[in-house]
């Protein structure tokens, strides 16, 4: 159970006048997909926040290969890409359900921020249920490009 999947249908509001899904929508889909990844580990991200932690996005990337269109059903696959002392990273792939075509892939890097808005080490509790990192993924899927600690900053 190292990869979680979310299916969703492209909404009309998500299209733009190029007649394809707008590129910012993909980051919203990635976010919905990692909510399901966490749920598949038996938690909910809502609980993480209730416990006083935020997983703030410190980096986001997407590579667009083919356009998603209105009413397409997409499958978004999420895996844990890296888990360091102060950041963790999720990787994503989006394929179109109808033909299996890969449309995009991307990643997000997150820092753990406490109630006071300070970046902290990833709590063991969170590392425990998220891990392990998906070792079956190719290196470029596994390695974060942003391993450094974000330092203690005001994030929220």
* Residues binding its own copies (CB under 8 A): 9, 11-13, 15-20, 22-25, 27-28, 31-32, 35, 44-46, 49, 54, 56-67, 70-71, 108, 146, 153-156
Q: Which is nearer to its own copies, 46 or 136 (CB)?
A: 46
28: nearest Cα among 68, 83, 65, 1: 68
Q: Which is nearer to its own copies, 58 or 122 (CB)?
A: 58
Find the shortest distance in angstroms from Cβ 44 to its own copies. Answer: 6
Q: How far is the CB of 135 from its own copies (least distance, A)?
A: 25
Local structure of 156: helix, strand or coil: coil
Q: Which residue has the tokens 């994503």?
A: 92
CB closer to its own copies out of 28 and 136: 28
Q: Please tell me the distance from the alpha carbon of residue 29 to that of residue 35, in angstroms, as a whole number.
A: 10
Spatial CB neighbours of 22, under 8 Å, sequence gap ≥ 6: 14, 15, 16
Is residue 16 among the annotated active site residues? yes
Nearest approach in angstroms of CB 85 to its own copies is 19
The rounded distance, in Å, linking the Cα atoms of 92 and 74 is: 12
Active site residues: 16
């Amino acid at each position: 159970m190292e990869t979680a999947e979310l299916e969703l249908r492209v909404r009309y509001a998500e299209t733009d006048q190029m007649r394809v899904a707008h590129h910012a929508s993909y980051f919203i889909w990635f976010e919905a997909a990692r909510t399901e990844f966490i749920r598949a580990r038996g938690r909910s991200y809502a609980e993480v926040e209730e416990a006083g932690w935020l997983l703030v996005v410190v980096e986001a990337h997407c590579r667009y290969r083919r356009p998603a269109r209105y009413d397409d059903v997409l499958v978004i696959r999420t895996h844990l890409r890296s888990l360091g002392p102060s950041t963790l990273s999720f990787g994503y792939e989006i394929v179109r359900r109808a033909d299996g075509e890969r449309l995009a892939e991307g990643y997000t890097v997150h820092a753990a921020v406490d109630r006071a808005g300070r970046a902290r080490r990833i709590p063991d509790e969170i590392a425990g249920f998220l891990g392990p990192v998906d070792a079956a993924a190719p290196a470029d899927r596994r390695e974060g490009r942003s391993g450094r600690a974000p330092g203690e900053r005001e994030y929220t």
